[in-house]
Amino acid sequence: MIEPLKLSRWRAHERRSEFDATARALAGAASLPTRPYKKTGFPLPAWASFYADDRALAVLVCPGEQWRTVEKALAYGIAHAQGRKLGLVMPEHWQGKGDPVQATLVRAAFLRTDIQLWTHDGNTARPCRLLNPREACRLLREGALRGGELDLKDLAWQVTDLENWADSQPDLTACHEKSHRTWRCQGLILLSIQRRGKGLLVKSGVHYSKQIRGKPLPDSLSLIGQSLNPAELSKVRARVQAGIIDKQSGHSQGYREHWMQATLARYATEIGWSGSYRLEREFPAKRPGGGTAYIDFLRMDDSGILHIIETKIGHDEMLVLQGLDYWIWAQANAKLLADHFKVPAARLVRVDYVVGPKDGKQDLARGKQAVLSPYAPAQLEALDNEIDWQVHLCTGWATSSPVMTPLGARTVPPAPYVRHRT
């Protein structure tokens, strides 16, 4: 009997192999190139067929893929087009609730790459009308912003002693969001407080999402009409302190990106993020293909620039386009954001791509670690001229002395910060 995972991979392989036989015909019917395309050092994904000639690059996506996979066609296409026209042929149906076709249309409205888009049913390709910037922004407008920090209001007295203790711990960083108040150690959530009905729910210990052998779920304590008693407070503190010791000993692996974010939040002043406005964390924003995404940081500086901050450790072919999504969202909701920060209007909206090495310590000026996807340079260069963006190199995020090095407005990182995978 074939294991479920192996069976799923076999079926995907069969489906993609079958599509290869029809992809060239679809490309020809759309007047796109039909000569197979490859580029040394840049592996192409198996879920799409690539064709190219001197004038155009065609990317045809196999039916039956997840929507998050389908929308990556634009990311790969931009990186490989290199001055040519880009023809994207996407399936009419996909798995999941997101809409990758709409997401692509919204993003394409703010790219300098010459893009044409079709959808296909496996046999016939149909052209799609591109959107202008105003139409694209309209799709991301919201009735009200959903970001901010949870205010416990009339229930705050129930956990005053706990919050004061957590805020006093040098190894914990407060990372509050709209739905809950949390404290993290090196990116790992060890304490959270949220409203639950008429009371509060306090969780302490590592916040694993599901039961794992040897890794218990966080302890939960409900408070309705009373504050934590001394015994309960002592228990919660002990569980949090145990989590701190475990994390700092290296037993809890992963969470590098959350760790870097926690460091940036803690040392905001030291890295140049000081100002009169609160640093917003995990700010919800409408996705161009539907649903909600979360901006890592949203910051208004004292000069009136709204900074959209996206952090990344390791390669991610969607990083640049995610930043673009948030920039479009900010343009679409400029008045709401101005009201949120209590300013007449933002003077400028800037996307800050903050990237760092995996070990969190290396000096990139001397090292050879790649901290940006090899596909990112072409994507950055494809962003419309009206989009203000900047790449920042963050070193020392795993220490108490992080260093933020901005590369300059619209400056693509040179080698060794970008490398081609082999």
DSSP 301-347: -TTSEEEEEEEEES--TTHHHHHHHHHHHHHHTHHHHHHHHTSS--S
Encode pLDDT of 153-196 as tens digits.
999 999 999 999 999 999 898 888 888 899 988 888 899 999 99
Encode pLDDT of 284-298 as tens digits.
999 999 999 999 999
Give the pLDDT score at 416: 47
67, 74 contact by CB (below 8 A): no
**Cis, peptide link before residue 284, omega less than 30° from 0:** no
What are the C-alpha distances in Å from 4 to residues 8, 65, 353? 6, 17, 38
Residue 422 pLDDT grade (very low, low, confident, very high; cuts 50, 70, 90): very low
Burial zone of 369 (CB within 10 Å; 0-12 exposed, 13-18 middle, 19+ buried): middle
- Listed residue (268, 254, 282, 280) closest to 187, CA to CA: 254
Encode pLDDT of 2-32 as tens digits.
465 555 676 777 888 889 889 999 999 999 9
Cα–Cα distance for residue pair 331/135, rounded to 1 Å? 12
Mean pLDDT of all residues in 62-84: 96
Run of H or E including 398: none
Run of H or E including 47: none
- Listed residue (387, 304, 377, 403) closest to 75, CA to CA: 377
Give the pLDDT score at 1: 47
Encode pLDDT of 140-157 as tens digits.
999 999 887 888 999 999
- The crossing angle, in degrees rounded to 10, of helices 334-341 and 319-332 is 80
Question: Hey, what are 223's tokens?
Answer: 């408070």
Quickly tell me which residue has 């795993």 as its tokens: 398
Is residue 390 helix, strand or coil? strand
Give the pLDDT score at 392: 95
Look up residue 55 and give its amino acid: R
340, 298 contact by CB (below 8 A): no
Quickly tell me which residue has 């294991």 as its tokens: 3
Burial zone of 99 (CB within 10 Å; 0-12 exposed, 13-18 middle, 19+ buried): buried
Q: How many angstroms from the chain centroid is the CA of residue 383?
A: 17
Contacts of 354 (CB under 8 A, 6+ apart): 260, 264, 296, 309, 310, 311, 312, 392, 394, 404
Encode pLDDT of 35-52 as tens digits.
999 988 788 999 999 999
Look up residue 219 and give its amino acid: D
- The neighbour count for residue 302, using CB atoms within 10 Å, is 9
